[in-house]
Amino acid sequence: MVPQSRLLLLAAAFFGPSLAVDEAPPTATPCTALSTPGGAFFDLRPDIAVAPTAKGKHKYGKSEDYIARGYDYGYNFTLNICDAVIKSPEKVVGIDEPLWKNVSAYYEKDGKVYSLGQQSSTLTPRGTQLVLQYSGGSPCGLSSTTKRGPVHAGASYKSYDDDNDHDADNDTTTGQNSSNSGGGYSSALDTVTIQEDDKVLIQKAEEPRRKSATFAFRCDRESVNPAAIVSFVSADPDECAYLFVVRSQHACAGVQPSKPGSVGPGGVFAIIFLVAIVVYFAGGVVYQRTVANARGWRQLPNYSLWAGIWHFFSVSLVPTMDRKAWGWS
């Protein structure tokens, strides 16, 4: 049977390239991500809170916004994952009214609503971890008022050569980042002017920083709750960047499903199996006909094996079926 083995090898070499499946490009489906190094697939669409329909709540998933308790922080956070909140807030500080419906996370403080960012469904995989970020929230870190403060007696002002074109009374310098308290600058974009009366005029930058929220997802396979659990972690001193941790069973790495019209792993194995059967019988018939000069059914490869199997079933099963048909036991 050496020639038959050679035929199988030649057929495998011929059909092999045609069966190769091209590597699918990274998915662009919202709220999903494909990790490039390991090929891990993440799908957080089941964690998106969706408003209930006229028939009632959805059978699966969450039908109301997520609430993350701030505990000692003083206020709670309302948010959604990969989508805007179900109940859109009103009169959001520093956000134009047409964008209120796109707010994905916010909190209320002293009767005012502050946005933590606009809707985003772009997930960023980092190894086995997953990150989601909202940006473009309410202004933060800068005060709209102008601060004035005296210069201490020992302070001096040095005029650099590069600033010769400016008057001494209007010389400016850029301050460094510091807190809003104590008369310090709150941003490197602030302009500081020393006037004739030894007063410091701090002109705040026109474009303020804006609040943002970062969500770090953790795989939780042991959770019995189908919905994700969002926990507030911390915020920076300027209350511009907020960090949350989300535990969800959907944040666990999985296998990317096959797209409609593409061949999945099962289909590939089925095609290989069918091709192997065709090659086996075609190669066997050619060998038996040309080398063994066989004719009729004896052209089939391993004819004696298949004939023995057929004889076994015809002897053992056919008479039994005939006796039952005639009512014999």
State residue 309's pLDDT score.
82
Helix (H) or strand (E) holding 283: helix 265-290
> 94-103, 144-153, 292-301 — which one is most confidently predicted on average?
94-103
State residue 318's pLDDT score.
63
What pLDDT digit, counting tens, does each position of 47-78 carry?
A: 999 988 777 666 667 889 999 999 988 899 99
Whether residue 267 is predicted with pLDDT greater than 60 in this model: the reply is: yes
Query: What distance in Å separates the CA atoms of residue 285 and residue 297, rounded to the nearest whole number?
Result: 9
Q: Quick one: average pLDDT of 104-122?
A: 94
State residue 287's pLDDT score.
82
State residue 260's pLDDT score.
60
Q: Quick one: average pLDDT of 165-188?
A: 43
Contacts 24+ apart (CB under 8 A), 231-234: 231/68, 232/68, 232/69, 232/70, 232/71, 232/73, 232/77
Give the residue among 190, 198, 215, 202 at the shortest CA–CA distance from 79: 215
State residue 129's pLDDT score.
80
Which are the contacts of 48, defined by CB distance < 8 A and separation ≥ 6?
A: 31, 61, 62, 80, 81, 82, 83
CB 71 within 8 A of CB 102: no
State residue 55's pLDDT score.
72
Query: What distance in Å separates the CA atoms of residue 34 and residue 276, rounded to the nearest whole number?
Result: 34
* Average predicted confidence (pLDDT) for the chain: 75
Whether residue 118 is predicted with pLDDT greater than 90 in this model: the reply is: yes
Domain chopping of the chain, boundaries: 2-21+263-325, 32-139+209-251, 147-203
Tokens encoding 52: 């209930």
Whether residue 149 is predicted with pLDDT greater than 80 in this model: the reply is: no
Among 41-45, 156-160, 186-190, 313-317, which stretch is predicted with the lowest mean pLDDT? 156-160
Higher pLDDT, 328 or 276: 276
State residue 163's pLDDT score.
46
State residue 65's pLDDT score.
94
Whether residue 117 is predicted with pLDDT greater than 60 in this model: the reply is: yes
CATH code for residues 32-139+209-251:
2.70.130.10
Helix (H) or strand (E) holding 285: helix 265-290
What pLDDT digit, counting tens, does each position of 273-300 carry?
A: 899 989 988 888 888 888 878 777 777 8
Q: Quick one: average pLDDT of 221-225?
A: 82
Whether residue 319 is predicted with pLDDT greater than 70 in this model: the reply is: no
State residue 315's pLDDT score.
76
Please report, rounded to a whole number, the percentage of residues in the chain having pLDDT higher than 90. Answer: 32
Tokens encoding 281: 């019988």
Higher pLDDT, 304 or 170: 304
What pLDDT digit, counting tens, does each position of 177-214 carry?
A: 433 444 444 455 566 777 666 676 766 656 789 999 99
Q: Quick one: average pLDDT of 301-323?
A: 74
Q: Quick one: average pLDDT of 208-235?
A: 91
Query: What distance in Å separates the CA atoms of residue 137 and residue 116, rounded to the nearest whole number?
Result: 5
Q: Quick one: average pLDDT of 120-145?
A: 82
Q: How confident is the model at residue 222 (pLDDT cuts 50, 70, 90)?
A: confident
State residue 35's pLDDT score.
81
